[in-house]
Amino acid sequence: MVTLGLCPIPDISLKLSELPISSLLKVKLGSDHDRATLGRIAELDARPIFLDANQGWDHVDQALEAIAVLGPDRIVGMEQPFGKEQWDLHKDLGARTKIPIYADESIQGLNDLEHAQGVFSGVNLKLMKCGGLDVAKAMVERAKLLGLQVMLGSMSESSLGCAAMYQLSGIADLLDLDGPWLISNDPFEGLVMEAGELHVRSSTGTGVEPAFPTLLNWTTIGA
């Protein structure tokens, strides 16, 4: 998936045109014009939608109203609609809709996954938050054992970090590794979105290479 960030309603068409083609569109919400944003997207884009309110809502009804704008059949999931400590609201929302509710900020480490069972349907795991691929892999495996769906996410980061996390894509349910498209100075290349699907071009290492190797100051530090 690729992400449409918060922006004024008149800018939505332009922002959508700047994103690579993907099979799923993630929409950031949590502003005072959420309904208008979703209404405009419904006019412009036909892709399935994943909603991310970034802890921006205070009431379950806000989430249900957003779902109603697009209709539940078009929404693949919803991420962290309420504050990270508001487990009760997330559980209440999960009981009132069939749409999977994913945790992001509520899950900071491996132990938090134990609390997510019965509250959330899934979890968004990010390499920068996990601290390394070994921890990320352990969290994916534990989440699966707990019956949670897994999304591999990213911060606004380079292709190097996202390509590293991509190594776990075979055991994930959703990929949200669009960090390189959210920055203008990615120093690596090789992570691409083609025909709506994410993949790496190289079969060695993480699959990406420095974008401008001749401009980098390489220094030999050992044999």
Burial 94-131 (b: 16+ CB within 10 A, else e): beebebbbbbbebbeeeeebeebeebbbbbbbbbebbe
The pLDDT assigned to 91 comes to 98
> Higher model confidence: residue 216 or residue 136?
136
CB 156 within 8 A of CB 179: yes
- pTM equals 0.91
**CA 188 remoteness from chain centre:** 20
- pLDDT tens, residue by residue, 19-30: 988 999 999 999
Residue 18, burial from CB neighbour count under 10 angstroms (0-12, 13-18, 19+): exposed
Is the pLDDT at 151 greater than 70? The verdict is yes
Domains, the chain: 2-186 (3.20.20.120)
Cβ contacts of 185 within 8 Å, gap of 6 or more: none
Is the pLDDT at 163 greater than 90? The verdict is yes
Q: Which letter does DSSP use for residue 21 in this model?
A: P
> Higher model confidence: residue 209 or residue 25?
25
- pLDDT tens, residue by residue, 92-108: 999 999 999 999 999 99
Q: Is 139 helix (H, G, I), strand (E, B) or coil?
A: helix
Cβ contacts of 48 within 8 Å, gap of 6 or more: 23, 24, 25, 74, 75, 76
